[in-house]
Amino acid sequence: MTASIDLATSLDTRFEIGGREFRSRLMVGTGKYATNAQMLAAIEASGAEVVTVAVRRVDLDRTKDEGILYHLDPQRYMLLANTAGCFAIDDTIRYARLGRAAGFNEWVKLEVIGDQQTLLPDAAATIEATRVLAAEGFKVMAYTNDDLISALRLEDAGAVCVMPLASPIGSGLGMLNEFAIRTIKHRLGVPVIVDAGVGTASDAAIVMEQGVDGVLMNTGIAAATDPVRMATAMRLAVDAGRLAYLAGRMPRREVAVPSSPTTGMLDP
């Protein structure tokens, strides 16, 4: 008799951030797609519930339907406004408030960028902005470096979730510091969602194998040759990585250990 694995139960897919329950551990961005139809198909294939959006000026000489709300159903997806592109605390807070005024929710994916070339986050500014926004009732998901101390400070400042990077935004370099990510996950009380740097499915699996609660990506899907297929691969990889984490991997050894019996061999 073969034991059957019920994927629905062996994957503990439900988890909570800031008092809200989520099913999918994969969150996706909506930028850089060739067409809106492609974006929608990729999001659908990813199984994501949470999709990030940016706040930008309306082009007053626009084509009429360029806003993403004409394409994404806010009843179906949780829209998570980001503060991408902000370098100063005041700007970041302004963008967060504008995002909230759209009227969908109190959540913000907080980014304060510290350097134009690497787009690495300014942890000190992010901590300060988190403090201000949390006091205003925002549910702050705070993007940060793979650094334990800034992650701890963000939790103290009131972040509902801390989002350390795997590697720089849009780099596709995958997980650069597994140890740091595991340490952050181990020490924080709030959920940890790795954000940025995932380039392909194996990267997503490696992220999830560290035991983090989820992963957020945009370019890894949108910049693939076939984004819809890559979104599917990412969905499967996030599940595979989560399942592998729950299963508990074997110890690493520097020497070989035979898999087959060493007894019962024939005489030479």
> Applying CB under 8 A, which of residues 14, 32, 186, 187 lies at the interface with other proteins?
32
Decide if residue 97 touches other proteins (CB under 8 A).
Answer: yes
Decide if residue 3 touches other proteins (CB under 8 A).
Answer: no
Decide if residue 169 touches other proteins (CB under 8 A).
Answer: yes
Binding segment for other proteins (CB under 8 A), chosen from 92-100, 206-214, 229-237, 243-251, is 92-100
> Binders of other proteins among 109-148, rule CB under 8 A?
none
Please state, in angstroms and rounded to a whole number, the distance separating the CA atoms of residues 156 and 142: 12
Residue 109 falls in the annotated catalytic set = yes
CB 49 within 8 A of CB 26: no
Binding segment for other proteins (CB under 8 A), chosen from 152-160, 207-215, 217-225, 239-247, is 217-225
Please state, in angstroms and rounded to a whole number, the distance separating the CA atoms of residues 172 and 169: 8
Decide if residue 231 touches other proteins (CB under 8 A).
Answer: no
Please state, in angstroms and rounded to a whole number, the distance separating the CA atoms of residues 51 and 74: 10
Decide if residue 34 touches other proteins (CB under 8 A).
Answer: no
| Short-list 222, 168, 221, 176, CA closest to 195 | 168
- Is the Cα dihedral 242, 250, 247, 180 positive or negative? negative
Shortest distance (Å) from residue 12 CB to other proteins: 27
> Applying CB under 8 A, which of residues 1, 3, 60, 256 lies at the interface with other proteins?
60
Decide if residue 54 touches other proteins (CB under 8 A).
Answer: yes
Angle between helices 178-187 and 148-157 (to 10 degrees): 30
Shortest distance (Å) from residue 128 CB to other proteins: 20
Decide if residue 66 touches other proteins (CB under 8 A).
Answer: yes
> Applying CB under 8 A, which of residues 84, 188, 194, 234 lies at the interface with other proteins?
84
Token readout for 258 is 């035979």
CB 154 within 8 A of CB 114: no
How buried is 239 (Cβ within 10 angstroms: 0-12 exposed, 13-18 middle, 19+ buried)?
buried
> Applying CB under 8 A, which of residues 53, 133, 161, 233 lies at the interface with other proteins?
53
CB 201 within 8 A of CB 237: yes
Contact positions vs other proteins (CB under 8 A): 29-33, 39, 52-58, 60, 64, 66-70, 79, 81-82, 84, 94, 97-99, 101-103, 169-170, 196, 216-219
Which amino acids are annotated catalytic?
A: 109
